[in-house]
Amino acid sequence: MIKTIIGLGNPGAAYAKTRHSVGFMVVEALAAQYGSDWRAQHNYLISDSIIEGQKVALIKPQTFMNNSGNIFPYLQKKGIGALDIIVVHDELEMPFGKVVIKFGGSARGHNGLKSIMTYIGDQFMRCRVGIGRPVNKDAVSSWVLENFRQSEQDVAQMVQLAVDAIVAEIIKK
């Protein structure tokens, strides 16, 4: 059963609309859709939600992307393990707007996933949200920290697609 959905991103207004913070955008949309508020706890923000009758904690690590896994000592004390989570993250290897839920796999160069894997391994659910890849692969680090070039409406549709996929996954369990 999914107990926690962790959206990856970077804290702060400067990063709010960047590609790397799409995980934050998705959990924020879930909180808004299910009417739950955010509060600070340890090194993350949490929103306790009831999604399709199931209690689910939505989490936004406040450690910056490369240290996203640092939230796990606190989560593990609450009994949250790898099989209890969905991690929502940006995915360079998929075109903008494509959303895929998958279990397990490598980090594929994603430093937020690498950080999480140091704590819980690679056997957890992921909601991969396609952001596309820049033409020049040397530009990846700046690409992920840039705002989307697509319209706000297109970004909102992509976020809602991810929300719908996560809700469908919760209903399945």
**CATH code of residue 74:** 3.40.50.1470
| Mean pLDDT of the chain, nearest integer | 95
Query: Can you tell me which residue has the tokens 């209890």?
Result: 84
pLDDT in tens, 18-36: 999 999 999 999 999 998 9
pTM above 0.85, yes or no: yes
Q: Which of 20, 42, 89, 110 is catalytic?
A: 20
What share of the chain has pLDDT > 90, as a percent?
Answer: 93
Say whether 110 is catalytic: no
Torsion sign (Cα): 14, 16, 17, 18: positive
Q: What's the CA gap between 9 and 15, in Å, rounded?
A: 8
Q: Which domain holds residue 117?
A: 4-172
The pLDDT, as a whole number, for residue 173 is 66
CB 115 within 8 A of CB 67: yes
Q: How many domains does the chain divide into? A: 1
pLDDT-based confidence at residue 172 (cuts at 50, 70, 90)? confident
> Using CA of residue 120, residue 125, residue 128, residue 133, what is the dihedral sign?
positive
What's residue 1's pLDDT? 78
What does the pLDDT look like over 96-110, one tens digit per residue? Answer: 999 999 999 999 889
pLDDT of residue 108: 87
